[in-house]
Amino acid sequence: MSTDSELRIVWVYPDLLSTYGDRGNLLILAQRARLRGIPVRTEEIRTDEPIPAEADIYLLAGGEDAPQTLAAERMLDDGGLRRAVEHGAIVFAVCAGYQLVGSAFAAQGRKYAGLDLFDLTSDRGPSRAVGELAGPVDPALALPLLTGFENHGGRTHLGPGVRPLATVSVGVGNDGHTEGAWTKGFIGTYAHGPALSRNPALADLVLRWATGRESLEPLDDTWHDKLRDERLAALAARGKDLRHAA
Ligand code: GLN
């Protein structure tokens, strides 16, 4: 993003990919940018519209199996997200959106081609992963504990081109051991919550990448902290106390 222009954030296919309040990720990013005086333009690109290739940040959200397969087909035909990534755009992808940016995913008993933008692939697990998801983030990112909730049937396997976003302390994530994936300019996660509300430091990482700023002025995170504290207290009540690592 050039310093005098606005930050363009695109939410891809809200009509297909929009489970569990993941739209909150768009609201959180836009608000945290505006509070720093960064002008923002948000765009919600529906399935019947072309995906613009010139935006700064692309958000992909969760979705049920059938909409997910439709979204994959449309995005492959469209090509806009691929062009955007080639230009250096940032991608933040959750659950179905996370699976979609890999080389393949499984749904409705079949294997589907993904967008093959990042080095990961998904298949199906033995059971649905439903519940809280938490664990320490890759130390290279210097972020606090990841917290969220998950609801997915898929399992994700990472290639050498990406690193796990976190290690799983509670929940399943990719495979019961690691959760999500990242490489510079890309974050993929199974965490809903919305993820960027439960993890505002992750939102700021995305904003730093997109703006090229090394640091952003701190914000009042009272409400985010309250939400994190509540969920971590709920885990502690079930015998998994991660508050020391939060
Ligand atoms: N349909 C995918 C799965 O079940 C993703 C689910 C979701 O986005 N919540 O694995």
pLDDT band at 4 (very low <50, low <70, confident <90, very high): low
Angle at 98 between CA 126 and CA 85, to 5 degrees: 155
pTM of the model: 0.97
Q: How far does the centroid of ligand 1 lie from the alpha carbon of residue 98, in Å?
A: 9
Average pLDDT on 87-111 reads 97
Q: How far does the centroid of ligand 1 lie from the alpha carbon of residue 39, in Å?
A: 33
Nearest atom within ligand 1 for CA of residue 107: 1
CA–CA dist 124, 167 (Å, integer): 20
Q: How far does the centroid of ligand 1 lie from the alpha carbon of residue 131, in Å?
A: 13
Would you say 147 and 191 are in contact if contact means Cβ atoms under 8 Å apart?
yes
CA–CA dist 98, 178 (Å, integer): 14
Mutation test residue for ligand 1: of 13, 64, 122, the one with most atoms within 8 Å of CB: 64
Q: In the CATH scheme, what architecture does the domain 7-217 have?
A: 3-Layer(aba) Sandwich (3.40)
> What residue spans define the domains of the chain?
7-217
Q: Residues with beta carbon inside 6 Å of ligand 1?
A: 19, 62-65, 68, 95-96, 107, 151-154
Q: Which helix (H) or strand (E) holds 211?
A: helix 200-211
Instruction: Give the contacts of 200 (CB within 8 A, at least 6 positions apart).
Output: 28, 32, 219, 221, 224
Nearest atom within ligand 1 for CA of residue 61: 8
pLDDT one-digit tens code per residue, 24-57: 999 999 999 999 999 999 999 999 999 999 999 9
pLDDT one-digit tens code per residue, 105-133: 999 999 999 999 999 999 999 999 999 99
Active-site residue (options: 177, 192, 224, 244): 192
Q: Does residue 202 sit in helix, strand or coil?
A: helix
pLDDT one-digit tens code per residue, 182-195: 999 999 999 999 99
- Interstrand relation of 186-189 and 146-158 (parallel, antiparallel or unpaired): unpaired
Phi, psi (deg, nearest 5) at residue 131: 140, -165
Is residue 152 pLDDT above 70, yes or no? yes
> Does 192 participate in catalysis according to the annotation?
yes
